[in-house]
Structure 1
């Protein structure tokens, strides 16, 4: 998929302050990341606010018996995909607006679109590559668990980021 970032790395910020990647997702844990940014930012910080949207899907089938007894799922039309992307853009703009009143802090948005079958490791690679390109001092990611039991563990994308060697990873929980 195409990214919104050029291939050449961004040089370190001239202010000498921190480049921080905020890896947002569409869970309530993203609010914790924004709250972290509001509490711990410093004048001159550059917040690289990233979201990887899993909206581009393809047709799947589940085979649960003899050939011919599969269940077909609806494949999204191009219009439905565009609608999903526009909704994601609106959600992302609203999250960025929440940081608009921070003084002496630059916020740079990065929105990526991926296939719905993309793995957590693939999402973590996109965020990690962004961190490398902007010379990030740290990545702040959400814990992002879905079930009651998983609330006690780290989400799969955050776990993949923790296992990478890109930079320091903070997990908001």
Structure 2
């Protein structure tokens, strides 16, 4: 598997896992989703919001890539989050709509990334406004790893609420 195939696999895994998480989360009441469970972002809804906000920030940064990804142009209409802990979506139904759109967006964009793009540097500013300059492929690895990390937390929170999201291993998508 080459690096481009890996990026597309991770985008597919992201979409597959989020569908499973949101299906489970959708069976809980708003109160259960907002309950402080002492996680990094408090609640299940807080954790899922963080993922959407974090993905949005990174995708807007990826839009700065010298390749000028036309597939990321639609992000111009989306506000850049200023706080990754905010509840930008007050309920799981609104959040699920954004998540589904974002996941398809990520997958569609992943199919446009070209191998030479991966070795370029990406210049961006972090959440504190500090300039950064990093290898693009390494940033993509971080992007997908961040998703997996917090989805693992969400899976645990859902499990503590009595729900089983089923298989979560990337292995399920590998030929």
What range describes the TM-score normalised by the shorter chain of this pair?
under 0.3
**Greater helix content:** 2
Task: State TM-score, norm by structure 1.
Answer: 0.27
Larger radius of gyration: 1
**Greater strand content:** 1
